[in-house]
A and B are shown apart, each in its own frame.
Chain A
Amino acid sequence: MPHTILVVDDNDQNRVLFHDVLVISGFDVLLAENGEEAVHLAREHHPDLILMDIQMPVMNGLDAGKLLRSDPRTKDIGILALSCATTIDDKDDFFATGFDGYIDKPIDIRMLPNTIIKYLASVNRK
C-alpha cells in the first residue's frame, strides 16, 4: 500500500508540482492550502508524512505543527518543514515546535521522492 503524503503550501503552482511529481513517484498525495486545512486533513486521514510550508495565510506552519503535536491523533505523524529560512534561530524554531526535520528551499524537485523515501525508511527502522 502506497504511503500517503500531505503537502501543505499556499502556492497553487507548488502544490500542483508536488502533487504530480509525488503521484508519478508512487505516493498517495493530500493537499492543503494552509495550516488549518492541514490539521483537519491530518486528523481525518492520518498521512505517513507532512511536508509543511512555513509562511502561509490563515495559519502558519509553526502554529499548525504545534497543534498537530498536541493532539494524540496526530502527534506521531512525521513533519518536515519546507524552509527558506537560513538562520540557526529559525531552524531551532522548527525543532522546538516538534518538526522532524526540514528541507531547504529551493527544493530540488527531482530529489524530493528520494528524500521522502529515505525519511520514511529511517522512521520505519525506529
Chain B
Amino acid sequence: MKIESPDLILIAEDSPTQREKLRHMLEMHGFRVESSANGKEALAALEGKRPLAVISDIVMPEMNGYELCRRIKGDHETQTIPVILLTSLSDPDDVIMGLECGADYFVTKPYNENFLLSRIQHILANSNQENEQGVRMGLEIFFRGKKYFINSDRLQILNLLLSTYETAIQNNQELANATEEMSVLNGQLEENMAEMDLKNQELFAVNAELEKQQKIVHEARIQAEEANRAKSDFLANMSHELRTPLNSVIGFSEVLVDEMFGQLNAKQHEYVNNILFSGRHLLNLINDILDLAKVEAGKLVLEPSTVKFREVIAGTLTMFQEKALKHNLRFGLELSADCDIELIADERKLKQIMFNLLSNAVKFTPDGGIIRVTAQRTSLSDMRAAGKYLQGERQPEAEDFVEITVEDSGIGIKREDIPKLFREFSQLDSPCNKEYKGTGLGLALTKRLVELHGGQVGVESEIGKRSRFFFAIPLLQEITATGS
C-alpha cells in the first residue's frame, strides 16, 4: 500500500543545475521535493510512496522520461500518479512519443514557471475526478512510417493536445513579442543608420578638409625645402664670390710681407700685416659659412683615412704655442694608454674640431691659465649614463668611442648661456684675449663635424673656474696601437 503524500513531488532530471532550480521553485511554493537523476532512480524512489505528481525530463541516462512514464503508467500501483513531462514538443515525434507513453501533462522546455505551476494546481484540483473518469482507449496510429499504440485515456490525450496547443500559442506570443521587439529595434537601427549617415557625411567633410590641410602642409614643406636649398646654394655661391677677391687680398699681402718685391719700412710692414690678419680672419669666417652651408645642404662629406690620433691632437696643440707663450698659458696633454691608436676619421675635420675648441679655450682663459687636453676610451652606454652629451640630430650607432676633453681654467660659462653655445652666430663676449676674435660659427660647426663623424659633443662649466668641452667620436674599425 502506497503512502499518500499530497505535498510531495518527485523530480527526474539529470542536469544538477536544472534539478536544483526546479526543486527551489517548487519548495518556494510549499511543496516537498524529492529528486532523482534519471528514470531508474525515480522508479526506485517511488517504492512505497505516492507523490502528488512526477515531473520528468526526457533525455536522461540509464532510463529516459518516456520509459519512466511508460513504467509508471504500466504499473497498476502507480498508473494514477500524474506524470508531467518536460519536453520541447518541437517535433511531432515528441507528441506521438508522449501520447504513447501515457503522460498526463507536457510542459515545454525551457519552461515558464507560472505555466508549470498552473499545471500542478490543475492536478491538485482534479486529482480525484481523473481517477474516476478515466476511460481508456486503445488505438493504433501510424506516423512517419512507424506504428504506435496509444493507450491513454481521453483526458490525457486532451491534456496533451491542449499542452501542444498552449505551447503553440505561447510560442506564437513569444514570436509576436519578438517581432514587435524586432520592429522597435529595426526602427532604432534605421535611426542609427540615419545618424551614421550624417556622421559619415561629417567624416567625409573632415577628411576632405584634412586632405586639403595635408596638401597645404606638403606644399609648404616643399617650399621650405626649396627655400633651404636656395639658401644653401646662395651661401655656397656667395662664399665662392667672396673668397676669390679675398684670396688676392691675402696673396698680395703675403707677397708684400715677404718683401718679395723689395723692402718695406716698419710702418708699411705693420699695415700690410694688419691687412693680412684681417684678410685671413675674413677668410676663416667665409670658410666656416661655406662649411655650415654644406653641412646643411648635406654636401659636406667626410674623407676618412687612417689617422694617428696622438699626432693629430699634439699637432693642433703646437699651432697654439705662439699664443701660449704670449699669454703665459700652460698646455697639458694626457692621452690614456689605450688612446695611443690609429683610428678612421677625416683628419682635416678632426683638426678643425680640435682647433675650434682650443681657440675658444685660449680666448676665454686669462693670462697664466692652464689648458688641459685629455683623451680616453668610452662606450655608448657610458656616454648615455653620464648624460652630459647633447642630443644630436642623429643617434650614434657605434658602441666604442674615444672621448676628447679640452678643459680650461677660464672664466666659465653662465648656465643660461650654455644652450646658446652651439648655435650659429651666437657669440659670447670674451673679456680675455680680445685679439682672438671668433666667427660665432666655430662651435656650431664643431658640433656638426662631430655629428658627421657619428659622435656627440657636450660642455660642462663652473663659473669663474673652468669650462670643459668634450666630444666623442666612434672607433670605426679594429684599432691598432701605434706604440709609444
Q: Which residues of A contact B (CB under 8 A)?
A: 11, 13-14, 17, 20-21, 24, 55, 84, 86-88, 105-110
**Distance A106 CA – B244 CA, assembled complex (angstroms):** 9
Q: Does B251 contact A (CB under 8 A)?
A: yes
Give the residues in chain A near B252, CB-CB below 8 Å.
13, 17
Does B71 belong to the interface (CB within 8 Å)?
no
Most buried by A among B243, B248, B255, B261: B248
What CA separation (Å) do A108 and B255 show in the bound complex? 10
Q: Please measure, in the bound complex, the distance between the C-alpha atom of A24 and the C-alpha atom of B255, giving whole angstroms.
A: 11
Residue from A11, A21, A107 having most chain B Cβ neighbours under 10 A: A21
B258 touches A110 (CB 8 A): yes
Contacting residues, chain B, for A110 (C-beta < 8 A): 254-255, 258, 260
Q: Do A87 and B248 touch (CB < 8 A)? A: no
Query: Smallest Cβ distance from B284 to chain A, in angstroms?
Result: 11
Give min CB distance, A103 to chain B, whole Å: 12
The answer for the CA separation of A55 and B303 in the assembled complex, in Å, is: 23
Q: Which residues of A contact B244 (CB under 8 A)?
A: 11, 14
CB-CB under 8 A from B246, the residues of chain A are 106
Task: Please give, as numbers and ranges, the residues of chain B lying within 8 Å of A84 by CB-CB distance.
Answer: 240, 243
Give Cα A87 to B291, complex, Å.
11
CB of B240 within 8 A of CB of A55, answer yes
Complex CA–CA separation, A107 to B254 (angstroms): 11
Given known A106-B250, A106-B283, A110-B254, contact A11–B243 (CB-CB < 8 A): no
Expressed in whole angstroms, the Cα–Cα distance for A108 and B279 within the complex equals 13
B243: contacting residue among A13, A17, A87, A106, CB under 8 A: A106
CB within 8 Å for A87 and B301 given contacts A11-B244, A14-B244: yes
Q: Which residues of A contact B255 (CB under 8 A)?
A: 17, 20-21, 109-110
Complex Cα–Cα for A86 and B251 (A)? 20
Which residues of A lie under 8 Å from residue B254 when comparing CB positions? 108-110
Q: Which of B248, B299, B303 contacts A17 (CB 8 A)?
A: B248
Query: Given that A24-B260, A108-B254 are known contacts, is A88 also in contact with B248, CB under 8 Å in the complex?
Result: no
Map CB proximity to A onto B245-277 as digits: 1 under 8 Å, 0 otherwise: 111101110110010110000000000000000
Residue B300, interface by CB 8 Å:
yes
Decide if B300 touches A107 in the complex (CB within 8 Å): no
Structural contact, A109 and B243, CB atoms closer than 8 A: no
Contact A107:B245 (CB < 8 A) given known A55-B240, A88-B301 = no
Known: A13-B245, A20-B261, A87-B300; 12 extra A-B contacts, CB below 8 A, are A11-B248, A14-B251, A17-B251, A17-B255, A20-B255, A24-B261, A84-B240, A105-B243, A106-B246, A106-B250, A107-B251, A108-B254
CB proximity of B410 to chain A, nearest CB, Å: 31
Question: Interface SS of chain A: helix, strand, loop or mixed?
Answer: loop
Q: Is the interface of B mostly helix, strand, loop or mixed?
A: helix
**A79 to B300, alpha carbons, bound, how many Å?**
26
Closest Cβ neighbor of B260 among chain A residues? A24
Provide a sorted-by-A list of 26 A–B residue pairs whose CB atoms are within 8 angstroms. A11-B244, A11-B248, A13-B248, A13-B252, A14-B244, A14-B248, A17-B255, A21-B251, A21-B255, A24-B260, A24-B261, A84-B243, A87-B294, A87-B299, A87-B300, A87-B301, A88-B301, A88-B303, A106-B243, A106-B246, A106-B247, A107-B247, A107-B251, A108-B254, A109-B251, A109-B255
| B258–A14 CB distance below 8 A | no
Q: How far is the CB of A25 from chain B (nearest CB, A)?
A: 9
Which B residues touch A14, using CB under 8 A? 244, 247-248, 251
Chain B residues near A108 (CB-CB < 8 A): 254
Tell me the smallest distance from the CB of A123 to a CB of chain B, in Å: 25
Contacts of B243 in A (CB 8 A): 84, 105-106
Q: Identify the closest chain B residue to A9 (Cβ).
A: B244
Cα of A84 to Cα of B258 in the assembled complex, Å:
24
Shortest beta-carbon contacts, A-B, top 6: A13-B248, A109-B251, A17-B251, A106-B247, A14-B248, A11-B244
Q: Which of B268-313 contact A (CB under 8 A)?
A: 283, 294, 299-301, 303
Closest chain-A Cβ to B291's Cβ sits at a distance in Å of 8
A108 to B250, alpha carbons, bound, how many Å?
Answer: 9
Interface string of B45-65 (1 = CB under 8 A from A): 000000000000000000000
- Are A21 and B260 also in contact (CB < 8 A) when A55-B240, A88-B301, A109-B254 are? yes
Question: What's the nearest-Cβ distance from chain B to residue A49, in Å?
Answer: 19
Residues of chain B within 8 A (CB-CB) of A87 are: 294, 299-301
**Distance in Å: Cβ of B173 to nearest Cβ of chain A:** 89
Give the complex CA separation of A92 and B245 in angstroms: 26
**Closest residue of chain A to B302, judged by CB?**
A88
In the bound complex, residues from chain B placing their C-beta under 8 Å from that of A17 are 248, 251-252, 255
User: Which partner residue on chain B sits nearest A105 by CB separation?
Assistant: B247
Residues of A within 8 A of B258 (CB): 110
How many Å lie between the Cα of A106 and that of B249 in the bound state?
11
- Contact A11 B245, beta carbon cutoff 8 Å: yes
